[in-house]
Amino acid sequence: MGQRFAVHHFTVSVRDVDDSTAFYGIFGFRLALRWDAPDNSLVIAHLADESGFILEMFSYHENGGLPRPELDIGNNLHELGVKHIALRVADVRAARAELLSIGHVELTEIQRGRTGVEYFFVSDPDGNWVEIVQDDRSLLVVGHL
């Protein structure tokens, strides 16, 4: 193909845009755009990191009172569908220690995955698991990037 494709955004549905904006701010995402429906039925927020990657959030008013879903770590990997966002760090142990020092975050222990990376998960305010990964591999496919 002649076109070059690059990752642009990842979308999550949340109960409260402000709570989720604060949570994802821990990872360097900052509010770049917010749209509120005139009838207050929906808020769409775009959070961007320094690379320009966008985390898009949809918050439907009708979902605000729903209980936090109970999701398996990784967001029910055994079921079909999109599962989680992964954020890369240079030092997974330092990242976990930093998140622990913040307090009030739910996270897992560090593990070595079957594909050779070290990672842990942290849960966002809506129970979605976000993977924090240290990936020191070189997986570039020659001629494709």
Q: Do 74 and 137 have their domain in common? A: yes
Beta pairing class for 111-112 and 86-88: unpaired
Question: 3-state DSSP call for residue 125?
Answer: coil
Residues in the chain: 145
Residue 144 belongs to what domain range?
A: 68-145
Q: Do 62 and 86 have their domain in common? A: no
What is the pTM (predicted TM-score) of this model?
0.88
Neighbours of 102 (CB within 10 A): 9
CATH number at residue 117: 3.10.180.10
Between CA 26 and CA 63 the distance in angstroms is: 24
Q: Do 80 and 144 have their domain in common? A: yes
DSSP letter at 8 equals -
Q: Do 37 and 107 have their domain in common? A: no
pLDDT in tens, 30-75: 999 999 999 999 999 999 999 999 999 999 999 988 998 888 888 8
Contact at 8 Å (CB) between 37 and 43? yes
Q: Do 85 and 132 have their domain in common? A: yes
Residue after which a domain boundary falls, among 31, 66, 101:
66
Q: Do 62 and 72 have their domain in common? A: no
Q: Return the half-sphere exposure (C-beta side, CA atoms, 13 A cut-off) of residue 92.
A: 22
Q: Do 19 and 52 have their domain in common? A: yes
Q: Do 116 and 85 have their domain in common? A: yes
Q: How many distinct structural domains can be found in the chain?
A: 2
Q: Do 85 and 16 have their domain in common? A: no
Q: Do 81 and 61 have their domain in common? A: no
pLDDT value of residue 70: 87
- pLDDT of 142 over the 60 cut: no
**Kind and range of the H or E run holding 31:** strand 30-36
